[in-house]
Structure 1
Amino acid sequence: MSELLTILVDADACPVKEEIYKVAFRHSVRVIVVANSYLRTPDHPLIERI
C-alpha cells in the first residue's frame, strides 16, 4: 500500500467512483470515501468509508 498517497472522494458528487476504485486497486492506493448517507463501496482493505 502506498503510504504517500491517499485518494479522498466526495462520493455524493463523484460520477467516477468505480474508475477510482479500479485504479486504486491496480496501484495499491488507499481510498477514503466520504458520503452524507450510506453508500455501497467495494469490500476491500484499501477502501475506507466515512
Structure 2
Amino acid sequence: MRETTMQIDEMAQATGLSRDTLRFYEKRGLLRARHASPLKNKKPPVQRSRRF
C-alpha cells in the first residue's frame, strides 16, 4: 500500500477534519505520524493510507 506524506494542516484541509481530530486518530493508532526533526520542520507530517 502506497502512503502519502502530508503536513497536518494539509491533511486537515484535504479531509475537512480538524488538527485535533487528526491527532486523536493518531493517538488511537488510526493514523501514523512520522515526526520530523525540529530543525527541519516545526509541524510533523502525517501519513495518510488509502483507506482514509
Q: Scaled by the length of structure 2, what TM-score is found?
A: 0.31
- Indicate the structure with greater helix content: 2
- Indicate the structure with greater strand content: 1
Q: Scaled by the length of structure 1, what TM-score is found?
A: 0.32
The structure with higher relative contact order (CA 8 Å, sep 6+) is 2
